[in-house]
Structure 1
Amino acid sequence: MKTLQIVLWTIAVLVVILVSAYTYYGGFVTISPEIKEVGGETLVYEKITGDYSQSSAISDRVYQKLLEDHQIATTKGFGIYYDNPKVTEKDKLRADIGCILESDLDKMEALKKDFEVMEYPKDKYLVAEFPFKGMPSVLIGIRRVYPTLNVYAEQKGYAMDTPVMEIWDVPNKKIKYRKALVKIEKI
């Protein structure tokens, strides 16, 4: 009897810890997608092909190179994901990963020697936000936000398999998602 109580208490404590962690990293946050006009940021990035799990390392590399070689400190990272990993082979996934440049725009020519650089198009996108409290937030956001964006897109007559941009806004502790809008033509 005593052993059973210990096992049950251990399980209960583990469940409380897991639920608390899931809550802290945004697991129960309400996701409210909406269509907004956004964009216009200057992006400094690397193009990648392969597993999306390398995004964090690439983002860190771009950040460090900007800081060390160009003396530019950034506070927002991003990833633009072009392919759906559920239908595209891992080694063929395409993404642009890097940092958003908010100052030092006069260094653009020097940056073009080390990175891809572009201005993200200003347009109407399907957007949503999620708390950013570390890597677990990114992983939970993928599982919660992407399906919500796809359901909204489908209900409003937009294509589901369109590129999605994630902005990791460190100072504001948010992940901002932008899904490209492509209207489905009804036949």
Structure 2
Amino acid sequence: MEETGLIFVGIIGLLLCLLITIFILVVYSGLFLTPEVGAGHPHFGEIVVAYKFCRGSYKEAGPLFTEVAIIAPDNKAIGIYYDDPQLVKADDLRYIVGSILSEDNSEIDEDLKKKFLDKDFKLHTLPLVTNVVKTTFPYISLLSIFIAIYKVYPRIGAYVEEHKLCAHPIVEMYDGKNINFMAPLAKQDEFYVPECAASTAEKIQDLETSLDESTIKDTSLSGGDQSLESSFLESSVTPDRMTVGDSADVLTDPVMADPVIPAVEETKLGEFATATEVTSLDLTSQGKKETESGSEASTTSSFEDIKMETEDLTHEETKKEQ
């Protein structure tokens, strides 16, 4: 029991030491520092950078900074962020990460330049500006980057809004000791690499294409509806004429429901007319009603009955005369 208690106490002691160490490191990395934001001259003049353009979440910039540090560990690293993540979707955010090859017209190391070009980096020159919104944060550890982002960007935004300035894009420069933040107040367009314009044009083209496809689809559907409607109207309005039964002597028309009966001598049909007068009228009336409601089968059946009765009565009259 005593040994278990000692192990438990030892584990707690290690955890406390670890927590204290982390806390000290976070404090040392700038947890309680308050960056001062102001306007003035930038931390660098005209510079030439080797960069890679990316689109996506700013959180994905880390691997590119690592790649830059591997190629040129003694060079200053730079990152430029073009879009406000509160206004632009994460997948559409544009930024570059690179290395500074030259400052104030200093000579470029051609070997180093070749290394970057071989890794698909491109070159761009950032202009000298006289006035920027800026601040500095100490770069002590990797934690300093996260603390700086948490502390600096809200203050830069508040400063720009308070003084009603037009300051963009945001530039971060790492010199090994400090993280220098700045947003130019002039020549902003020269801080945008060519891929930014191409990316914007591509996005506009995609939007136009999407709108065109939507318009074509709506037009097609509208045309299809009109075609269906026209077809329906034609099938509903155009009457079909048909022959009822195999005999050509009895015809019917859906529009005119009265049957056409072959002529028979009046003397031979006298009794038939008397016997079937009411029935014939009833059937004819019934045929008209059913035709008006669209039922052709009932009308056809009535006419066939009339024909059969006519033939039977004629046959009986012939027998009587014989």
TM class by shorter-chain length?
0.7 to 0.9
Q: Bigger shift: 145-154 or 97-106?
A: 97-106
Indicate yes or no: 2:108 matched with 1:105. yes
State the match for 1:3 in structure 2.
Answer: none
CA distance in 2 between counterparts of 1:89 and 1:153 reads 22
Taking the aligned partners of 1:138 and 1:125, their CA distance within structure 2 comes to: 21
Q: 1:109 and 1:77 mapped to 2: Cα distance?
A: 14
Deviation of 1:17 (Å): 4.8
Supply the distance in 2 between the matched residues of 1:130 and 1:138 (Cα, whole angstroms): 9
Q: Distance in 2 between matches of 1:31 and 1:152?
A: 12
1:166 lines up with 2:166 in the alignment? no
> 1: CA distance between counterparts of 2:169 and 2:138?
21
1:32 alignment partner in structure 2: 36
What are the ranges of 5 or more consecutive residues in structure 2 without an aligned counterpart? 1-8, 187-322
Letter in 1 for 2:86: K
Which of 155, 172, 187 is 2:162 aligned to?
A: 155
Task: Quote the Cα distance in structure 2 between the aligned partners of 1:106 and 1:168.
Answer: 19
Residue 83 of structure 1 contacts residue 94 of structure 1 at CA under 8 Å; is this kept in 2?
Answer: yes
Deviation, 1:177, is 0.2
Matched letter for residue 146 of structure 2:
L
**Structure 2 CA distance for partners of 1:92 and 1:130, relative to 1, 3 Å:** same
Partner AA of 1:176 in structure 2: N
- Looking at secondary structure, tell me which structure has more strand per residue: 1
Contact residue 46 and residue 96 of structure 1 kept, 8 A: yes
What are structure 1's unaligned runs of at least 5 residues? Answer: 1-5, 68-72, 183-187
Deviation track 1:93-132 (CA, whole Å, cap 9, x = no partner) reads 1001011114651629845563221221211211100011
Given the two structures, how large is their TM-score scaled by the length of structure 2? 0.46
- 1:62 CA drift (Å): 3.2
- Of 11, 19, 22, 2:26 maps to 22
Tell me, what secondary structure is at the counterpart of 2:41? strand
Letter of the 1:26 counterpart:
G
What are the equivalent positions in structure 2 for 1:1-187 lying under 5 Å apart? 16-17=20-21, 19-38=23-42, 39-65=45-71, 67=72, 74-102=74-102, 105=108, 107=110, 110=114, 114-123=120-129, 124-159=131-166, 162-170=168-176, 173-181=177-185
The DSSP-based 3-state class of the residue aligned with 1:59 is helix
Q: Distance in 2 between matches of 1:15 and 1:179?
A: 37
Aligned residues with identical type, % of pairs: 27
Cα RMSD (Å): 3.0
- Is this contact kept in 1: 2:101–2:109, CA < 8 A? no
Residues 174 and 180 in structure 2, CA contact (< 8 A), matched pair in contact too: yes
Which structure has the larger Rg?
2
